[in-house]
Amino acid sequence: MTPAPRHARHLPAFILLVLAQGPLHGKAIRLALLETLPGFKVDAGAVYRTLSRLEEEGQVDFEWNTETRGPARKIYRLTGAGWERLDFWEDDIRRRLGFLNAFLATLQRVRKRADAP
């Protein structure tokens, strides 16, 4: 049985990382996520809900772009608090990678012992 993807926990980190590369509107953020993270699946609604939460928390802000054809677009950018949160995410992800690498190393040792005569 394959578990469902658990991208939602790190979606704020991924969005902040995209915005660290420069300001973008919501649709462009989602497209950047899909291009940057192979196999990543996220619906537009989740991106916009997360952007709204990040905005409420002061990690991103926006300005309206009215210079393009069509409706005005919110152009999001990282704030100082967003950069600080990226530091948190870096620490969190490095810690998790350590756990996962330890798991893989242990599993490899167990399998080698199981295969030995």
Cβ atoms of 86 and 64 within 8 Å: the answer is no
Cβ atoms of 46 and 11 within 8 Å: the answer is yes
Predicted confidence (pLDDT) at residue 4 exceeds the cutoff of 50: no
Query: For domain 8-83, is the CATH number 1.10.10.10?
Result: yes
Determine the residue type at 110.
V
For position 115, what pLDDT does the model report? 84
For position 2, what pLDDT does the model report? 43
pLDDT tier at 1 (50, 70, 90 boundaries)?
A: very low
For position 9, what pLDDT does the model report? 87
Measured in degrees and rounded to the nearest 5, phi and psi for residue 3 equal -70, 155
| Burial category of 77 from C-beta neighbours within 10 Å (exposed 0-12, middle 13-18, buried 19 and up) | middle
For position 106, what pLDDT does the model report? 97
Taking each helix axis as running N to C, give the angle between helix 11-20 and helix 44-56, from 0 to 180 degrees, rounded to the nearest 10. 80
Mean pLDDT of the chain: 92
Predicted confidence (pLDDT) at residue 103 exceeds the cutoff of 50: yes
Cβ atoms of 68 and 87 within 8 Å: the answer is no
Mean pLDDT of 76-97: 97
Q: Which of 89, 94, 92 minimizes the C-alpha distance to 78?
A: 89
For position 3, what pLDDT does the model report? 44
For position 116, what pLDDT does the model report? 72
Mean pLDDT of 45-71: 95
